[in-house]
Amino acid sequence: MSSQSQLSVLHKFKGILFSNMSSEELLNSLDSFDAREDDVFLVSYPKSGTHWIAEIIESIPNARITLTSSIELGDISKLEELKMYSQRRVIPTHLCYDLLPANIKQKQCKIIYIIRNPKDTAVSLFHYYRDNPNLPYIETWSAFFELFLRGEVVYGSWFDHVLSWEEHRNDKNILIIFYEEMKKDFPKSLKKITTFLEINVNDSEINKIARKTSFSEMKNNSVKENFDPNHTVCALTSDRNLVFRKGVVGDWINYFTSKQKRVFDELFTEKMKHSQLARFLEEIS
């Protein structure tokens, strides 16, 4: 794919690629964002399960929260728009730690960071690139794989993103959730989230939420709620049909050649050699 077609829908901000749906003016003004003490930020690298976790949090009874659209989606008016919400705000973003507005860090707002196996993330992002008109169309998986390895995709390198957040994994206002763990033991992960957000939920409510937020149920709902601007969790599209593809763990095996797996694993080992999270990812993936 030519860099020309990539440039028509993407732009660089501080060395990282963003979709044109995040205006440079907004990105430059994020440090003037006025965070509230009770704000919750849902953070992840793209295609790591943000929508799913957002729906889960929205389904918690007595939560009294409002899910907003992504903080970096739109133009400068976004900052005014976010002021309009009176309830506790749950604000999604794909920003790396360094680009997060300073006010969020100062006020120690609660942050949930979601991590998914990077091989599954890469495959999911490849499909997203192909299906989403706000992203460049990339012909083949192998071409996309090369871009992903180099971090020449929206929101930059998966490795840099995860490592920027891992540095803060012991901050008391940050909770790290693994997508795969959430899939494997939903009640336990949900309990982690509700405890972190200081919301009381009993076991029967947890089971109810588990049913309501199963992947197939949410995929069906996305068709009904499509283009509802209040449900634009992703900074890359308002079309919810693009968001839910398979939601399975381990789909990467259908895409990676043995050589690609070797190349990826070598890079993973090199980049993540000091990472605690990497060890956990290796156990669950």
Which residues have a catalytic role annotated? 94
Q: Which of 16, 4, 11 is nearest to 151 (CA)?
A: 16
Q: Which of 45, 26, 51, 33 is nearest to 109 (CA)?
A: 33
Q: What is the DSSP string of 161-173?
A: HHHHHHTTTTSTT
Burial label, 211 (beta-carbon count in 10 A; 0-12, 13-18, 19+): exposed
Separation CA 236–CA 132 (nearest Å) = 8
221's tokens: 């709902």
Separation CA 251–CA 51 (nearest Å) = 19
DSSP assigned state of 256: -
Is the CB of residue 16 less than 8 Å from the CB of residue 22?
no
Q: Which of 211, 180, 3, 13 is nearest to 96 (CA)?
A: 13
For the chain, list the strands marked E by DSSP: 10-13, 16-19, 40-44, 65-67, 88-93, 110-115, 174-178
